[in-house]
Amino acid sequence: MELTQEINSDRPMIQSYDASGVTISGRLFAESFILMPRDTDPQIWAIEKFQDISTDVLDALFCTSWDALLLGTGSEHHLPGPDLLKLMARRNRTIDFMPSRSACATFNLLSMDHREVATAIILPLGH
């Protein structure tokens, strides 16, 4: 079976991810980052571990424009606590929490489907 690479020129794509970091548009990110819809350049995100995510951090993400937000929780899967869940309910928005590797793969799938997807990835990914 012959496979062809689908090109999506108007959106950045995650080209690769491994223990050393995430490559986007030829640039390696070894620190946590945020990638918003239509942005060509990810922004460094000052989050080192899932426990650093506060209601203030999530509130800042809610102030940006996206249809789906994938939050990569690092090498392990973490779920939001009561304070974060209350904030999401108050804002009437949801966030998909998943391991960072899964968030990278899901970002590309949703982006190729022309969804306005954003992702916030906690690095490192681990082994």
Q: Give pLDDT tens digits for 19-44.
A: 889 999 889 999 999 999 877 789 99
Q: Residue 85: inside a domain, yes or no? A: yes
Between 82-91 and 55-62, two packed helices, what is the crossing angle to 10 degrees?
20
Distance of CA 60 to the CA centre of its chain: 14
Separation CA 97–CA 86 (nearest Å): 15
56 is in which domain, residue-wise? 15-121
Q: Is 40 contained in some domain?
A: yes
- Domain assignment present for residue 10? The answer is no
N- to C-terminal Cα separation, the chain:
31
pLDDT band at 9 (very low <50, low <70, confident <90, very high): low
Helices (runs of H) and strands (runs of E) counted in the chain: 3, 8
How confident is the model over 67-123, as pLDDT tens digits? 999 999 999 999 999 999 999 999 999 999 999 999 999 999 999 888 999 999 999
Task: Tell me, yes or no, whether 81 lies in a domain.
Answer: yes
pLDDT of residue 4: 42
Q: Is residue 110 part of a domain?
A: yes
With respect to residue 34, please indicate whether it lies within any of the assigned structural domains.
yes
Residue 109's CATH number? 3.40.1230.10
Provide the whole-model pTM.
0.88
- Does residue 3 sit within a domain? no
Number of domains in the chain: 1
